[in-house]
Amino acid sequence: MTSANSPNLIGNIEQWPIAGSFTISRGAKTEAVVVVAEVRRDGLVGRGECVPYPRYGETPEAALAALRAMQEAVADGLDRMALQAAMPPGAARNALDCALLDLEAKRSGRRIWDLLGRRAPEPCVTAYTISLGSPPVMADAASRAAHRPLLKVKLGGDGDGERIRAVRKAAPQSQLIVDANEAWTESNLEKNLAACAAAGVTLVEQPLPAGNDQALARIDRPLMVCADESVHDRTSLEALRDCYDAVNIKLDKTGGLTEALAMADAARALGFDIMVGCMVATSLSMAPAMLLTPQARFVDLDGPLLLASDRDNGLLYEDSLVYPPDAVLWG
């Protein structure tokens, strides 16, 4: 039975224009569409943000409907541990999980990392994304970002060798990581990996389609390969040990920070390096992921840098250095 002091769950869809456009192998977009969950109780508001991803059959409307379906359970006192079984992993659960964590921190008057017994995040270098395009266009973008220490280069299949050579020439001092977004095939895998290795790339992310990536276990990998679409939560880790050296943990895939932290612990125990990643979104999406950065070898939380503007009280970015969130934003 609910009462006047019961938590109240509200969900909203928001659109945030991107500065220019953001292009990967699956297409381009000019705005980030996010879903925000707010859990209100005793005058306090806990917030969480997610980005429903069509690659996994998600839409903003379906995520919002999934949140609204949880309103009664939240009013009846659902906590984030019970939430893990009450909703499947995915974007909607992420927004609610993070909102409940934010509310928990606000009610206690403590920072969330202290409540969870985790290391406090510190300022760290985030990757900055170079969108997929022609070699000259990508070289121009890389040249303008060449002062940044870590660039994440989106590739897309045919012509990727030329693209990565152009980016390397334009940004000779930056560390490069590559994201193929499942666009390579078994026939061009070794050629593209060799081109990346020749360009001094440190890591290649998800070169082959999820579920068709066993070829990675049969070749000599000349550089680190990281799973993204192939890995979602802890249950998907064990099967990837022969194919990948690292895993990209994104809260929208794990279904929230609660599972993401447990997944990071499990991944490290299995010998994986960790990347903490994001979708293009506001600082409200990035803030919870900052708790994963003490365990991460690579941090890719540049979503707000790709927007025309961020929400109020967003994360502080000094070029590629990102700072932990203030409590007024989250946690």
Here the CATH number for the domain that contains residue 182 is: 3.20.20.120
**191: annotated active-site residue:** no
Per-residue confidence at 1, pLDDT binned at 50, 70, 90? very low
Marked catalytic residue, from 106, 154, 169, 191 = 154
**pLDDT cut 90: percent of the chain above it:** 93
Tokens of 112: 């969330």
Q: Is residue 31 located within the same domain as residue 164?
A: no
Average confidence score pLDDT of the chain: 95
pLDDT at 207 over 70: yes
- Looking at the DSSP bridge assignments, the partners of residue 10 are 38
Residues 118-140, mean pLDDT to the nearest whole number: 96
Which structural domain range is residue 106 located in? 8-116
Asked if residue 3 is part of any domain, the answer here is: no
Contact 69, 115 (CB under 8 A): no
Write down which residue in 116, 148, 172 finishes a domain: 116
Residue 307 and residue 173 share a domain? yes
* Tally of domains in the chain: 2
Assess contact for 101 and 271: CB atoms under 8 A. no
Q: Which of 29, 169, 191, 250 is catalytic?
A: 250
* In a domain? residue 112: yes
The pLDDT of residue 185:
95
Tell which of 116, 150, 166 closes a domain: 116
Are 108 and 146 in the same domain? no
Same domain, 102 and 188: no
pLDDT band at 98 (very low <50, low <70, confident <90, very high): very high
Does 179 lie in the same domain as 88? no
Same domain, 102 and 129: no
Indicate the residue among 116, 143, 162 that finishes a domain: 116
Q: Is residue 111 located within the same domain as residue 52?
A: yes
Asked if residues 82 and 74 have their Cβ atoms less than 8 Å apart, the reply is: no
First vs last C-alpha separation in the chain = 28
Q: Do 216 and 71 share a domain, yes or no?
A: no
pLDDT in tens, 260-276: 999 999 999 999 999 99
For 300-323, what is the mean pLDDT?
96
Written as six digits, the tokens of 198 are 């020749």
Query: Does 5 or 134 have the greater pLDDT score?
Result: 134
Query: Are 107 and 207 in a shared domain?
Result: no
CA atoms within 13 A on the CB side of 298: 31
Q: Quote the pTM value.
A: 0.94
**Per-residue pLDDT for 3 more than 70?**
no
Task: Let me know whether 184 and 273 are in one domain.
Answer: yes
pLDDT at 4 over 60: no
Which pLDDT belongs to residue 22? 72
Would residue 152 show up in a list of annotated catalytic residues for this protein?
A: no
